A = this chain, B = another copy of it.
Amino acid sequence: MSPIDTEEDLANPRVTAADLRDAWPVLDTEGRVEGFRHLMSAEAEEFFLELSAFDRAQVVLGLPSAEQRWWLRALPPDDLADVLQETPEEERPRLVELLDDATRREINVLLAYSEDEAGGLMNPRYARLRPEMTVDEAIGYLRRQTRERVESIYYAYVLDQESRLLGVVSFRQLMMARGDARVRDVMAQDLITVPDEMDQEAVGRLFAQHDLLAIPVVDAQGRMQGVVTADDIVDVVREEATEDIQKIGGTSALEAPYLQVGFVDMFKKRAGWLTLLFVGEMFTASAMGHYEHAIERAAVLSMFIPLIISSGGNCGSQASTLVIRAMALGEVRLRDWWRVFLRELAAGFSLGLVLGLLGVLRIVIWQSSFHSPDDASQGYYGQHYHLIAATVFTSVLGVALWGTLAGALLPFLLKRSGLDPASASAPLVATLVDVTGLVIYFSVAIALLSGTLL
């Protein structure tokens, strides 16, 4: 099975799913649709079901209308809604028209929810039972339901006349119960449900916490709307982590696979943050302007600028990513900020101590091993090298401590203001700390070196 790289090869009807899977990342939309249409029908279905919602939408949009109908109908309603969410809004009404009446109604309900809330994730088809049924009746009823359109019968939900959720019974429990027992006596009542408007990240946390395979979704009146299953949550957890990682790296979330994002889109997602960071970092030029005289008198000071400000940025980047992730996992809540502050105070101080001592070590070794190009008698950093060492030590300690605290607390500030804590990206923290780091460094230098070097 050699990879296929050219469209000529794809036009050849001998395309296998394995070939296409291999070539997929390097094909453009046209090539993908072309390749897909040349799969044998048995393989095509499996291949289609493997694709992400994004790729499915891309393929469907490239097909003629009759084939579109076929592929859309092959999907269960929750997956179908995901695919429609990935199509341009002006295309959706036409695609929805291709569905049968019952599915169209379901899809319109799902599309009314935002993609990232429980209602947008749920499957509206689930197995329903009445509390007064016997176990044998229930098993027979489920057996009939599965012949129709219910995707999953792992759990059956017990509803009253108004569709309010009374309890849940797993298939396993039905099988273990006596045939003449009532469903109401077998079902579990202390079940976990989620409101239809709950954010998908919170739904993901519930799944992780309780190790569940399915959670029912209810509306504000307690009426059951659908079921979210763990396989959908695997995707959600991956997506949410991807968004956080991209934000931590200082990009807006891409919302599509890296190689699929067009150049202009990619540029926009990245240029916005970079411009903001660049403008923020311009304050370093202003800060440096203030200290220009100090640098003119002691150029040696400028040598340590990158080292000192980067220490703050690195410490801040560590602290902010740890806190951002702990928040996303629900390990740290807003009200824990004081505990985090105390921990990071201790961490920042000890880390700053280690780095500061490393800086001193560097100066002492260089001082005794090399000599300045100007004056061979004075060692590398001149006669006042111990004062320079003291300046570097104190500045690194101060900058590391400040960077750590700023990095740890910025996510709390963002969350408190209703923003995404993950926006406290490594580059943002580094930029904040660079400006203040320079002020710390030169203040220390002026305090310690006035009368000698300055």
| Min distance, Cβ A168 to any Cβ of chain B, angstroms | 15
Roughly how many angstroms separate A322 CA and B340 CA in the complex, as a whole number?
Answer: 29
- Nearest chain B residue, comparing its CB with the CB of A302: B302
Interface residues of A in 163-191 (CB under 8 A from B): 171-172, 175-176, 190
Contact status of A288 and B302, CB under 8 A, knowing A153-B172, A258-B331, A270-B318? yes
Determine whether A109 belongs to the interface, using a CB cutoff of 8 Å to chain B: no
Roughly how many angstroms separate A72 CA and B274 CA in the complex, as a whole number?
Answer: 52
- Chain A interface secondary structure, helix, strand, loop or mixed? helix
| Min distance, Cβ A110 to any Cβ of chain B, angstroms | 16
Contact status of A249 and B343, CB under 8 A, knowing A154-B154, A271-B354, A332-B259? no
Copies in the complex: 2
* Per-position 1/0 for A265-284, Cβ under 8 A of B: 01100110111011101101
Determine whether A25 belongs to the interface, using a CB cutoff of 8 Å to chain B: yes
How many A residues touch the partner, as a band?
A: 35 or more
Task: Say whether A213 contacts B241, CB under 8 Å.
Answer: no
Which one of A63-71, A83-91, A92-100, A304-312 is at the B interface?
A304-312
Chain A interface (Cβ within 8 Å of chain B)?
Answer: 25-26, 46, 49-50, 79, 142-143, 146-147, 152-154, 171-172, 175-176, 190, 204, 207-213, 229-235, 237-238, 241-242, 244-246, 248-251, 254, 257-259, 263, 266-267, 270-271, 273-275, 277-279, 281-282, 284-285, 288-289, 292, 295-296, 299-300, 302-307, 309-311, 313-315, 317-318, 320-326, 329, 331-333, 336, 339-340, 343, 346-347, 350-351, 354-355, 358-359, 362, 380, 425-427, 430-431, 434, 438
